[in-house]
Amino acid sequence: MTTSYAQDSSDPRGSAVPAVAAALLFLLGPLALALGGLSAMATDACGPDDCPAAPAPPLSVLFLVLTLPAG
């Protein structure tokens, strides 16, 4: 006798993780865009040769995350 579990195997909490991810994106996405936009103003005065190396890695990570495909 075979029993099919495919019909009743859906988890009622299966949409919790996508909902949390969407909520975090909704809250943190505009903040990341604002920080990315302000970073140009923060490094504008130093020019390409005079800037310290400290802001480069965090800004690189921020812009990499902002340019990743959403899907």
Query: Does 21 fall in a domain?
Result: no
In a domain, 61, yes or no: yes
pLDDT at 52 over 80: no
Asked if residue 48 is part of any domain, the answer here is no
Separation between Cα atoms, residue 29 and residue 46, nearest integer Å: 27
Which residues contact residue 42 at a Cβ distance below 8 angstroms, ignoring those fewer than 6 apart?
55
Question: Are 65 and 35 contacting, i.e. CB atoms less than 8 angstroms apart?
Answer: no
As a whole number, mean pLDDT of residues 61-69 equals 77
Q: Which domain holds residue 38?
A: 31-43+54-66
In a domain, 39, yes or no: yes
Is the whole model's pTM more than 0.85, yes or no?
A: no
Secondary element (H or E) of residue 47: helix 47-50
4 in any annotated domain = no
Q: Is residue 24 part of a domain?
A: no
Task: Indicate whether 1 belongs to any domain.
Answer: no
The count of domains in the chain is: 1
Give the span between the Cα atoms of 17 and 37, in whole angstroms.
Answer: 29
Q: What is the pLDDT of residues 13-43, one digit of tens each?
A: 778 888 888 898 888 888 878 877 777 776 6
Residue 5 located in a structural domain: no
